[in-house]
Structure 1
Amino acid sequence: MTSGPQHVSSRDNALLKELRRLAQDSHAYRKQGRVWLEGDHLCRAALQRGVQPALAVFQASYWDASGHDWALDGMRPVVIDDTLFATLSGLESPARMGFAVTLPPAPALAPTLASVVLDGVQDAGNVGAILRCASAFGFRQVLALKGTAGLWSPKVLRAGMGAHFGLQLIEGLDVADAAALAVPLLATSSHRGEWLHAAALPWPCAWAFGHEGQGVSAALMALARRSVRIAQPGGEESLNVATAAAVCLHASAASAVSAGGLNPEPKPRGTRPA
């Protein structure tokens, strides 16, 4: 049975200060060894993946109305006065609850997994959207090279909408680390390579996506087996990197499904990749 909540009513409370840093500083998760999940949807997505919070934090009025509906496995929740919870939130319209979750240890790079390589993708929204696409389309591993937005930062977590907990995530890598991949590395180009819609795509494979302005670096492009272009008959100069990733990853997944290499049915929640 869950014990009574710990109430926080002082702005100077040490735990509140730690949580505030965790929610608002994109690098704090590395120092604290835990990450901040804000909002009902993201917290429930974590629970569905079998992730249990180290702390469950509620706005006082939300706790009084709905907090008792959360199954916390004997954990003592933290209840924060409404006005103080608003200072904790990293959102313009604050959510009413959140989880602090222990930062998962970085797995060893798996050379044969279908993977996404992020090369200096700096916008947190783009990174989170790409993680969500990777999870949806069967890419189980994401490698983030140095210069990419922190994979476990609050903004990336919100944009990922729970995808983090179905992926193997490794960050802080160099181009040389990406060379350990045993699957073909593919990269997009706006001006050269075969057309994506006409290409016979390998499975499993890895896709490289680069900086919003500069694209994939020359060093990483040198590792790519193939370069492909996305048809843009409307005539735009380029696509947003997260949009390009969605198009490419879906094309790979569709090709793999057609060849019998992937099951088109969604995987059940509650399990992490092996």
Structure 2
Amino acid sequence: MKKLLIIGASLLQLPAIKKAKELGYYVAVIDYDPNAIGIKYADEYYNVSTIDIDGVVKTAEEFKPDGIMTLATDMPMRSIAAACEKLGLSGITMDTAIKSTDKGEMIKAFNKHNVEHPWFYIAENNKALNEIIDRITYPCIMKPTDNSGSRGVVLLHNKAELEKEYEYSHTSSRSGAVIIEEYLTGPEVSVEVIVYKGVPHVLQITDKLTTGAPHFVEMGHSQPSQLPSDVKNQIIDLASRAVLAVGIENGPAHVEMIVTEKWS
């Protein structure tokens, strides 16, 4: 029987756990919460944090899975990359995991590979912020480089707001670094992609519903997108180039973007 290690056992990973069992896999799950809802559906449980890279690698060495995955969460990707590299399993590299989960490293990769992106500044700390603060134009967006779920995201209209809100974004960042970037306006979409042998295949484009300014918390999705076909073709092209820029050669990707007037 093939063995699958799923990183995370929360409500978000529950569909993957159930589907894996339905397909006949022997499933182990990792989660720091011993009461996580998905544990009872798995064959084995390991009490390890999903972002504990060494802990996940040691668990993988013990369980010896044929594959490792997660669902609907991005920070465990570094743990998965390390474990896959250690066991010689198919997966993304650690370099790709970092570029996919750190917004600063991601936008640098876009810049290197000529993938369109907003202007940006990265401030690792207060000193770095003070060095760039007079070059920033408004309105702009500030957010942690290494968090998700709209945590620490804020729209800024002037220097006073930036100085006031910096602590909010800074403390929401695991590393303390924030990225300040151009504020783009227009419909927001997400793009679901599967990359196989270096070729991206777009599965769906969805129209996103958020709370809007100032924090842009995600509320829901509508699919398929109602945008015109020519705009969707441009979205497919940009999303495909973006996932290749961060180094994804095999596996799924979730891309988010704003469709500005330049496109629509």
Relative to the length of structure 2, the TM-score reads 0.24
Relative to the length of structure 1, the TM-score reads 0.24
Q: Larger RCO: Structure 1 or Structure 2 (Cα < 8 Å, ≥ 6 residues apart)?
A: 1
Structure number with bigger Rg: 1
Give the structure with the higher percent strand: 2
